[in-house]
Chain A
Amino acid sequence: MNRVLLFLIMLPSGLWKRLGADIAQLQAILKVKLMMDNRKPLSFGNNKGMEHRKKKDRKYTVWLTMFLSFFMGIMYVLPIIITKFDTVIGLTFFYTMFVFVFTFTLITDFANVLIDTKDKFILFPRPVTDRTIMLSRLLYIMIYLLRLVIPMSIPAWIVFGLIKGWKGALFFPVPVLLMVFVVLFLVSAMYIIMLRVAKPGRFKDVLNYFQIIFSVFFFAVWMLSSRMINPESFQALEVQAYDWVKYFPTYWMATCWTWVDNTAKVLPGTRWMSVLAIVFPFVSLWATVRFLAPAFIKSLVASDNSNEAKPVQKKEGADTKKSKVQLYKWAEMLNKNNAAKAGFILTWLQTSRSRNFKMRVYPSFAYVPVYFFFILMQGGSSFSEVWEGLSEGTGYIGLLYLTTFVIMQAINYITMSEQYKSAWVYYSAPVEKPGEVIAGAYKAMWVKYFLPFMAAISAFTVVVWGGSVIFDVIIATVNITLFSVVIMRMSNRALPFSRKEQIKDSGLKTIVRVLGTLLLMGVLAITHLALVGLASPTDSSFTLDLSGFFNTRWLTIISFSLKLVLLILSSIFLWLVFDSLKNTDWKSLQKAEQHI
């Protein structure tokens, strides 16, 4: 697979040469990078015997990912069907969706590739030009992109092959490829602007927040727009109705189809724009490599060097010193033994400073409200209608349980770190039960992220729905805690920051586990919802209607006492599971790590 892609990427080597790259070096760099991707590093504490088994798993997951991408691709055929196979407008939608999704993916996932400074000592002392390095990074990302884009566009490809014949089938990949260039340009341009704007040394932090804001923005736009656009309005869809679309590169790509399809309708006087579709991606790529690459590489070096040279400036200020004292107090209060305290403090401090951690966890804070309104607006009603009807229903249960997302993201990433090798300290220190460290780490995440967020959400809930929901808030808190501890115990039992960051790839096993845990969460939340609904059956669809047997007063009492039972049961389970997590010994830890 990689070899084929590398071959394809190197086909237009004349073009790369014109862009100022050294072909032999470019090929060597790409080859090495791809080769390294195929070799998973051993995580700390794992023995070498695992290597062979994992290698096999890996191959299997590559295919699994491609299979999943294919299924997602079916989703992208929807706009084409909705627009009744109108070539230009349907494809404009199709390309726009692709550009959106991939720009989003790239911003979050490939920041590290693009701004990687790790090979500074390997590549920079060698006679390699900035342009070659820049282009090697862009093409490396492109290979990734193609690996996703190809399977995802296959369903649409098939559809177009069927309706347009062999010409359509042959032509289909051309605009898709052009689109990939556009995505590449958009992402790199955004990063380069960031590098220009931010001061060297600070830019990685700025970038971090920029990424968070962007991913939230894309997510919100994506979720809400797909809800707001009413499929019925597509019925009488004509290109003419969307005049502004001609300013978008994705429209230009769609107009390319006029070359092979005489029936394709375009906006009057825009047929020539298909030329732009060809010119725009290459001009933008050329501009990126030609003019922006040197500045880009220079600021990379600068940012990295100044980080090295200025450890003094990163010293904690006076106010953070105070909060640190507070942190130590909390650690004392919440943890019984020193191993747990150590895990607590380490996790707290590390998560405050790790860029990667923040990058992954902070967006989830914003996803919660976005998701909430997304679910509420599923009925197709407008925002103001939803807002007014909010306090009537039992929507708060959903909102409360959505906070699971935050704690899940947090605990999912505390075991991973770039500096996973530093985890040797746990092994050399006289730690009797590593479970204590893990439990301390979990507590830190709970106190640091879940508690304040839950408090904010609860405050909102109480304001909108009234004080009577406080009991539900408590139950939801316990249930979510139980759920997250179960996850921690079952599928994430590893020492904090001891594993190499990587895409989880144990394949089917992971899927089964994820489904299982989701089932547990569903059971907890739906039981809770059903019990709430008992008291007021008219508001809820998830419950037994007992109003024929009891009057409202009795219903309230029954609902309350059942909720109390749920709370007590959950608390007992929580205590048991947490205890088991805490008592993890070295032997079971080793076993657990092998299964992650």
Chain B
Amino acid sequence: MSREVYICDMEPIITIRNLSKNYGEKVALNNINLDIYPGQIIGYIGPNGAGKSTTVKILAGIIQDYSGDVQVAGIDLAENVLEVKKKIGYIPELPEMYDLLTPREYLTFIGKLFHLPDELIESRTVKMLSSFGLKDNIDQRMDGFSKGMRQKVLITSGLLHNPQIIIMDEPLSGLDANAVIIVKELLQVLKAEGRTVFYCSHMMDVVERVSDRIVLIDKGAIVADGTIEELRKDSSDSLEKIFAKLTLSEDNTERTGSFASVFKDEIENPTTPHE
């Protein structure tokens, strides 16, 4: 419902036209077309290897050799990747950071790459990390951090320059329950401020709850696009079920069943010796 309103009122902030990308012979993305409007949270989902990360990496300016046309806030990505990067905050799936640094040092470094003034970096760093409960860890080296602590620093580093568009790839991984609540609240705040969030995840229940619009891709192509209600089409299926229906040809239950029965079969027919 809300989607139609946006289409009438606003220019899309991200326009993707005929986007394709191959790795050698393997097709990663096959003719993707997508319009994304400001102030929306887009749940971008799909099975492993469907092309989610490739899309996200193209938007973040990491992959630059693709075919097709991508416009971000009216800027052509191929022509001015630097301007696009300034508007985007990218939170990658793996918490790759220079973990020999302290959060303060690392975030100062990132801030400098965006030409933020030192005082601003400092104040944002302290405020953002404090809200994640990392105030006491601000001057400790990250190589001793837990996965969740790293993830918090990673999220902070993606939001530090106050980007218009935020791309999150599995942002909740490793976070404890309290931090999950903070991130979910953060998503709503960002949305309220008119920012666009591109949210990639495998956690269907979270996607279902936070997203204004869900885009499902499989084998490099969009197979479903709409609000959760639109995807349900009057059925009462959960997103998980819809996902399975659209992306699995064989019966899912049979697969999991056969996985679980491996040990049972071994006990019943002890052909292989095991220790």
Contacts and interface: CB of A to CB of B under 8 A. Distances in A.
Nearest to B109: A32
A48 interface: yes
Interface residues of B, number: 36
Interface in B18-74: 23-24, 26, 28, 57, 60-65
Contacts of B24: 201, 306, 309-310, 313
Nearest to B98: A36
Interface stretch (A115-123, A392-400, A486-494): A115-123
Given A35-B101, A36-B101, A302-B65, A42 B143 contact: yes
Interface in B69-127: 82-83, 85-86, 88, 90, 92, 94, 96-98, 100-101, 105-106, 108-110, 112-115
B141 interface: yes
B23 A120 contact: no
B82 A124 contact: no
A379 B105 CA distance: 58
Given A24-B115, A28-B112, A309 B23 contact: yes
B106 to A, nearest CB: 8
B60 A32 contact: no
A35 B115 CA distance: 20
B96 A301 contact: no
B63 A301 contact: yes
B160 to A, nearest CB: 10
Contacts of A118: 96
Indicate the member of A25, A32, A35, A41 with the most B CB atoms within 10 Å.
A32
A545 B21 CA distance: 78
A127 interface: yes
Q: Is the interface of A mostly helix, strand, loop or mixed?
A: helix
A339 to B, nearest CB: 13
Contacts of A309: 23-24, 26, 28
A298 B98 CA distance: 22
B40 to A, nearest CB: 21
A122 B97 contact: yes
A125 interface: yes
B270 interface: no
Nearest to A132: B113
A28 B109 contact: yes
Interface string A330-361: 00000000000000000000000000000000
A39 B141 contact: yes
B273 interface: no
Given A39-B141, A122-B98, A310-B26, A32 B105 contact: yes
Nearest to B57: A305
Contacts of A298: 64-65
Contact of B100 (A29, A41, A306): A41
Contacts of B63: 301, 305
Given A25-B113, A124-B61, A127-B85, A310 B23 contact: yes
B144 interface: yes
B105 A128 contact: no
A25 B114 CA distance: 8
Contacts of B105: 32, 35
Contacts of B110: 122, 126
A125 B87 CA distance: 11
Contact of B113 (A42, A120, A123): A123
- Most chain B CB within 10 A, of A31, A124, A313, is at A124
Interface string A93-131: 000000000000000000000000011111111111100
Contact of B23 (A36, A48, A119, A305): A305
Contacts of A126: 85, 110, 113-114
B218 to A, nearest CB: 17
Contacts of B141: 39
A54 B105 CA distance: 22
A127 B64 contact: no
Contacts of B90: 125
A124 B113 CA distance: 11
Given A41-B143, A302-B65, A305-B23, A28 B113 contact: yes
B217 to A, nearest CB: 16
A264 B125 CA distance: 60
Interface in A175-231: 201
B23 to A, nearest CB: 4
A48 B144 CA distance: 9
Contact of B86 (A25, A121, A127): A127
Interface in A303-323: 305-306, 309-310, 312-313
Q: Residue among A42, A123, A305, A312 with the most chain B CB within 10 A?
A: A305
Contacts of B83: 127
Interface in B132-155: 141, 143-144
A92 B48 CA distance: 59
Contacts of A121: 62, 92, 94, 96
Interface string A122-146: 1111111100000000000000000
Given A28-B113, A32-B105, A41-B100, A125 B62 contact: yes
A431 B142 CA distance: 30
Contacts of B98: 32, 36, 119, 122
B49 to A, nearest CB: 9
Nearest to A200: B24
Pairs of residues from A and B, 4 with the lowest C-beta to C-beta distance, nearest first: A28-B112, A309-B23, A125-B90, A127-B85
Interface of B: 23-24, 26, 28, 57, 60-65, 82-83, 85-86, 88, 90, 92, 94, 96-98, 100-101, 105-106, 108-110, 112-115, 141, 143-144
Given A28-B109, A42-B144, A128-B113, 11 more contacts: A32-B98, A35-B100, A35-B105, A39-B100, A39-B101, A122-B96, A125-B85, A125-B92, A126-B114, A298-B65, A301-B63
30 contacts: A25-B113, A28-B109, A28-B112, A28-B113, A35-B101, A35-B105, A39-B141, A42-B144, A119-B96, A120-B96, A121-B94, A121-B96, A123-B113, A125-B60, A125-B61, A125-B90, A125-B92, A126-B85, A126-B110, A127-B82, A127-B86, A127-B114, A128-B113, A298-B65, A301-B62, A305-B57, A306-B24, A309-B28, A310-B26, A312-B26
Interface of A: 24-25, 27-29, 31-32, 35-36, 39, 41-42, 48, 118-129, 201, 298, 301-302, 305-306, 309-310, 312-313
